[in-house]
Structure 1
């Protein structure tokens, strides 16, 4: 049953990350727009299959769903290993995800401007993933009691 706690913790981190992102992007013009990168990635992936990608709100919803699932799966791995290092592992996974978002976007053929337009945008991108990793670690810790 430990795996359920890890998955629930990963989902908590993914939800926290997305709530933070969706809230701040409406308030701050320098906020990262990882949603735009995700929409571009999803549309390109669907096009590669020969299908027509969704548009507008349907593309947004599909991307948000895919983002929640993929981040929850990734963050759930934070629960693996020694429980004493849970918070550090959460921060490390978040840091790796944030740096990965910044450094892999362009090599994958995606427009990186929505997450690299300013230094503040770059710092927030990494910070938000660290936040998601820490929320995951704290949720797993709480669920393990």
Structure 2
């Protein structure tokens, strides 16, 4: 792989952040109105609380856990989606692939990680939304990066 320039890394991180924000807005908006919507917020809160307990600390209250989960979700998804910038010249396809993989992971990994399965697998609609929404985040990141790349030609 060629050496990445600072500009390429910045665009990769920025597009990843754009995809992560789009994903989080979608998650948080739809869950307010659709009872079967995935609950990534609950998984995040459980993961953070589990971490606190693992080191012998009392987890913060629900509002603070929620805030930490949102920041953690956006940050981790932004870094993940920024991997799109390390692909070759097909950022939208790379974004779709990474997004679909993240969605499958969000459905299959919480149970084995001890975070519970229901937030992303309650119904077949929940599973489909989970995979689809992460795919959406990857596509958004890919489109953003593609547009920035066009501007550099």
- Write the distance in 1 (CA, Å) between the matches of 2:55 and 2:133: 32
Moved more, 69-78 or 47-56: 47-56
RMSD in angstroms over aligned alpha carbons? 0.8
1:8-19 matches, cutoff 5 A: 8-19=14-25
- Number of aligned residues: 144
1:82 maps to what in 2? 88
- Write the distance in 2 (CA, Å) between the matches of 1:2 and 1:112: 37
Cα deviation, residue 71, structure 1? 0.3
- Write the distance in 1 (CA, Å) between the matches of 2:85 and 2:51: 30
Determine whether 1:98 maps to 2:107: no
**Alignment TM-score, normalising by the size of structure 1:** 0.96
1:44-123 matches, cutoff 5 A: 44-83=50-89, 85-123=90-128
Q: Which has the higher contact order (CA 8 A, sep 6+)?
A: 1
State which of 41, 46, 53 in structure 2 corresponds to 1:40: 46
The runs of 4+ residues in structure 1 deviating greater than 6 Å are none
Q: Where in structure 1 are there 5+ consecutive unaligned residues?
A: none
Determine whether 1:141 maps to 2:146: yes
Larger radius of gyration: 2
- Write the distance in 1 (CA, Å) between the matches of 2:108 and 2:120: 10
Q: Where in structure 2 are there 5+ consecutive unaligned residues?
A: 1-6
**Alignment TM-score, normalising by the size of structure 2:** 0.91
Cα deviation, residue 109, structure 1? 1.0
